[in-house]
Amino acid sequence: MTTTVTMPKGRFADIGRLRVHYHRAGPESDSGPVLVLLHGWPEFAGAWKKVLPVLADRYDTIAPDLRGFGQTQALTEEGRAPADAAAFADDLKLFVDALGIDKIGIVAHDVGGAVAQAFARAHPGRVFGLFLFNGMYPGIGKRLGAAEHLPETWYQYFHRLDMAEELVGYNRDTVRIYIRHFLKHWAKDPAAFDSEIEAWTDNFMRPGNLIGGFNWYRATADMRMQLIRDGAPKMEKITTPTRVLWGRDDPVLKSAWVEGLEDYFADVEIDVVDGVAHFVHFEAPDLANREILKFFGRIETR
């Protein structure tokens, strides 16, 4: 399978509080299977450039910029407010409603994975499958605040400070230095994003995009502290068929944390992938595309 690196032209959909920017390709249908790709931080919809065009050979495939990211624009004060996973999931519902889509499969990474889980819990009848790359889930619990892991999570606390946007956004160079750090440190191959640094810098130079991403960490701060204090909560299992592909060498979302996933997903298949770290979909796109297509092809026949 040849990796494609060209995204289709962006479109916009108004959902009341937001004007959502998204890319869409494939056999568009209001009745056939639709896959929605949800990015993480520090990302935007362009992070799926090696995935969306390949999936679109078989599926109607849509990659939106989440609230505060990319070219999605706030239209109201509510749309500018920091959003947790539940609020992002509500954005997603309004978005697919606006496109006239009833049921979706979700492919998600990092922040997007938390949004996907919140959507599946709130609207189980509207999602037919979840494919999750390295991401947060409640079962991580106290491991999130383990002493040996705290040096990796410094940015989550820094993003909550009022000065964070001013410091990082001082000029283009400071934005590039900051975003480049994570793209290099969280990838197995530090050069994996070298050709993308300027595009990522362009994205986070857009007005509001630094604070938009930082707002995720502000909105979810209490949830993170509760996990660290109280440990993994007991919750009803997500019943949607789920596939998890986790990079073994991820320094920030540890692959060892897959232990416990079965307590939160009733129907889950899990693999840890060698030779990649945080960005499996970007670091190993041929593997990612193959596994996504295999998973959704399988559950379609159920």
The pLDDT tens digits of the residues spanning 110-137 come to 999 999 999 999 999 999 999 999 989 9
Q: What is the pLDDT of residues 38-68, one digit of tens each?
A: 999 999 999 999 999 999 999 999 999 999 9
Q: What confidence tier does 198 reach under pLDDT thresholds 50, 70, 90?
A: very high
Question: How large is the average pLDDT for residues 242-250?
Answer: 98
Given a cut of 90, whether residue 72 has pLDDT beyond it is yes
Q: Where are the domains of the chain?
A: 10-300
Q: What is the pLDDT of residues 290-299, one digit of tens each?
A: 999 999 999 8
CB 152, CB 252: distance < 8 Å: yes
CB 43, CB 50: distance < 8 Å: no
CA–CA separation, 103 and 29 (whole Å): 11
**CATH level 3 topology of 10-300:** Rossmann fold (3.40.50)
Catalytic residues, by residue number, are: 110, 217, 278
What pLDDT was estimated at residue 244?
A: 98
Amino acid type, 209: N
pTM exceeding 0.85: yes
What pLDDT was estimated at residue 202?
A: 98
Burial 257-279 (b: 16+ CB within 10 A, else e): bbeebeebbebbeeebbeebbbb
What pLDDT was estimated at residue 25?
A: 96
What pLDDT was estimated at residue 30?
A: 61
